[in-house]
A and B are shown apart, each in its own frame.
Chain A
């Protein structure tokens, strides 16, 4: 079977499976068929990537619907398929075959299909239509799954923002089409006005869809309220498709961009990664925390893209290709561990009833499979060796480090600042995920319901465990994929062929050697430590009694950082002490870290818009006579203008 056949049959299977999902009797079979379709999509896509094969038609600037697959589309089809399989297998038990569940199941298939359509679109029309549908389908899923007031408001916000900012995508694609530059980088001159305009429009439109700060505010609203498997597809795949768009436009179709644009992209990446993880730290609900981490990881990917643009502008083609590959490798890695974490969160929510971090605890013991896979995902997203997150963060760090080696003072300094930002981001992510695994998986259960949580059913376990396997595999042998990713650069670049990451100008990250040495040494030390146990003792805690009231909370664990960053974060806290006759009877504490982008940037804008709309309403009197008067006035103005010769 060829690439085209595999992708087509896969898409057909997803579609047919979606229809079967609508019927009560074939519900599970429908989801399974969708999963099989995803396997075929992933297979076809990865084949196109590894064999560097193209199928179907080539890109055109004409409004003439056509589809095709090349290696870059193949990579993202591979991501879509891989995450899709895990999410759909998970969904077979996660969704109930009720009316609501069946609709969500069918819409999941539609969501996969429209994303695949964006990836295979080869003309502006198909691309833009699929792009818009990709925004709307998850909105529909959220509205089907829950129709309460906050959810409706969040969906409104999501659709409004992605459409307003999404205009940038239209501007970019239509400008490219009118220049005839879709699929042809030789058309637009480097440094020309139209090149800059397209690049900026794409950054706004696709950046908003990816969740790049400061256009990210929809993401932490929309992602947490979707059903777990759709959250996984949104965070794991949908925002990555915006990265696909950015790579197509910025790297492939626009040729060499001016340096200041590379610096701008770096700045956006650094802002998103640091601010994303800092706000994630102060979230106390698991899915919302994970949504903020998506912003952080998109920031890391954008840092890689920025390094690529700068290195390309400096003529360092080999490292520019490595930087692009670093960004794409992190795209794959984030797709794996973020969908794993979202699916795991879905299982925890089922088992424990809530995802409030302070009210979970000890789930690793109650749910060893889901909990263990979640732990792997947490270590991976914290960017620690020997898992995949470290491999891609290492290559991104190396790419940034090589910018000053080729660059001038300004872009070299920008890259050095980005380097520090990425190092700090990794450490902040480690802090955040120590908190998450501690509060969710480790320690005592903090509620009775959590103490009796049951392990998720087999299908739900299989989804997360498979994704954890992917994280381990790409951690051990990132070179398996990295070579193909280097080959995706539109300029010629030599790809390394080792399973580790042996790049020139580095000391080589021998991922396999490091993992093997770690496993051997840790195993040996654990054996030496032995099972000899003198006593099982209660927690000593310097003699202090360990009580449930003294349990550490999410807010407590992040307090040192909150104090250090007080000037930037401006946390709000309120302590109300009630006394009766000089005796304290009740102390109420409330603290929160406000989301400044929302409150300082967006709220004034929306308030102004509402104010404007309120006053504009006066114009709309609703009486026929008034409108006739407007028309008359307009005619008079036009006539007067014609008389004065203004109209020419």
Chain B
């Protein structure tokens, strides 16, 4: 294994597991600053994780194995996704393959586990959140797969490492296809990270929440796992956005070096969007993501016309 490959693996594992909570922390911090508040420090998610880790879990009466296992399954499948998503174009295979569409499957598995757990506790708010999350996911998955398809067509494979290499440099960006794919992926990022205008991570007001809903009954280590999973979702989609859907260097060393900068910029962009855009009515969110899917489809058509 070459030096950069080892470094890429280290960044992938350390970043995905340990640095991920920093990303939502940064977004919250800057959002507060932009709103003229001092707000929590960017390290706040770590403090919350530490506090929750020290507490024991609560087993809801009558809830069974699905309730108890759901946080582990959600966090476990997101962790496998962290193993899957490389951070540079020469990262080695860590035994789970490198396929972009497998990522979509792992994200769906995490979503399924959490949504199933909300039936165990028969909490109406949890079920409301779960049903909304799964409804929006229909459109998110279509947009996600199409956006990945644009990048895959441009680079000729769904191998993520090859996709990072195939979209690197300036040549891939001379056509509008990838830009359209990037636009679609931006909306997927917003939806997968549960941010405005699709969802509001700050709200704990029962009637408006989506992702927070199914988490209501969890406490202690269960909740810590779920919060870590939400943070790691930020890492996964932002890394993809930075290394596939934004212009990036061809040299893996430069890619690695610039990754922190790009991630910080993307967090800033999320914070800015959160400040500028209000949360949409829930029934309008699928429409927005439907538009994202159409934009990605347009990207594929452009690519086909160019190639023809």
Contacts and interface: CB of A to CB of B under 8 A. Distances in A.
A508 B95 CA distance: 10
Interface in A420-442: 420-424, 426-428, 430-431, 433-434, 437-439, 441-442
A506 B122 contact: no
Contact of B109 (A385, A505, A507, A535): A385
Given A431-B138, A517-B83, A364 B144 contact: no
Query: Among the interface residues A509, A516, A550, which one has the most CB atoms of the partner chain B within 10 A?
Result: A509
B100 A507 contact: yes
B122 A518 contact: no
A59 interface: no
A390 B127 contact: no
A423 B72 contact: no
Contacts, number: 285
Contacts of A528: 221
Interface in B109-142: 109, 111-112, 115-116, 118-127, 130-132, 134-135, 137-142
Given A365-B64, A443-B122, A529 B72 contact: yes
Interface string B208-228: 000000001100111001000
Interface in B142-160: 142, 144-146, 149, 152-153, 156-160
A514 B95 CA distance: 8
B71 A529 contact: yes
B146 to A, nearest CB: 5
Interface in A508-542: 508-510, 513-514, 516-518, 521-523, 525-526, 528-530, 532-542
A385 B76 CA distance: 12
Contacts of A433: 112
B165 interface: no
A438 B293 CA distance: 30
A542 B57 contact: no
A542 B111 contact: no
A135 to B, nearest CB: 35
B248 interface: no
A444 B63 CA distance: 8
A332 to B, nearest CB: 19
Given A540-B123, A546-B122, A560-B282, A430 B159 contact: no
A507 B102 contact: yes
A564 interface: yes
B76 A419 contact: no
Contacts of B157: 505-507
A404 interface: yes
B301 interface: yes
A420 B293 CA distance: 8
B142 A560 contact: no
Interface residues of B, number: 93
Contacts of B71: 525, 529
Nearest to A416: B300
Contacts of B108: 382-384, 426-427, 430
Contacts of B121: 443, 539, 541
Interface in A386-429: 390, 394, 397-398, 401, 404-405, 407-409, 412-413, 416-417, 419-424, 426-428
A544 interface: yes
Contacts of B124: 541, 544, 546, 550, 552
A442 B56 contact: no
Contacts of B127: 438, 552, 556-557
B153 A404 contact: yes
A563 interface: yes
A559 interface: yes
A485 interface: no
A437 B93 CA distance: 35
Contacts of A534: 55-58, 220
Interface string A599-618: 00000000000000000000
A551 interface: yes
B142 A542 contact: no
A539 B61 contact: yes
A interface residue count range (under 10 / 10 to 19 / 20 to 34 / 35 or more): 35 or more
Given A513-B97, A539-B61, A546-B123, A382 B112 contact: yes
Given A404-B300, A431-B135, A518-B76, A416 B158 contact: no
Contacts of B145: 397, 419-420, 422-423
B218 to A, nearest CB: 10
B15 to A, nearest CB: 17
A517 B80 contact: yes
Contacts of B160: 507
B206 interface: yes
Contact of B120 (A443, A510, A518, A521): A443
A379 interface: yes
B236 interface: no
A552 B58 contact: no
A558 interface: yes
A500 interface: yes
Interface in B84-119: 93, 95-102, 104-106, 108-109, 111-112, 115-116, 118-119
A510 B293 CA distance: 28
A439 B120 CA distance: 9
17 contacts: A364-B65, A382-B108, A384-B112, A405-B153, A408-B308, A412-B304, A420-B293, A424-B138, A427-B137, A430-B108, A430-B134, A443-B121, A508-B159, A525-B75, A535-B58, A536-B58, A540-B123
Closest 6 CB pairs of A and B: A438-B119, A507-B99, A522-B76, A507-B98, A507-B159, A423-B145
Interface of B: 55-62, 64-66, 68-69, 71-73, 75-77, 79-80, 83, 93, 95-102, 104-106, 108-109, 111-112, 115-116, 118-127, 130-132, 134-135, 137-142, 144-146, 149, 152-153, 156-162, 206, 216-217, 220-222, 225, 282-283, 286-287, 293, 297, 300-301, 303-305, 308
Interface of A: 362, 364-365, 375, 379, 382-385, 390, 394, 397-398, 401, 404-405, 407-409, 412-413, 416-417, 419-424, 426-428, 430-431, 433-434, 437-439, 441-444, 500, 502, 505-510, 513-514, 516-518, 521-523, 525-526, 528-530, 532-542, 544, 546, 550-552, 556-561, 563-564
Given A404-B303, A525-B225, A533-B59, 7 more contacts: A427-B138, A438-B119, A506-B101, A508-B93, A518-B76, A529-B72, A535-B59
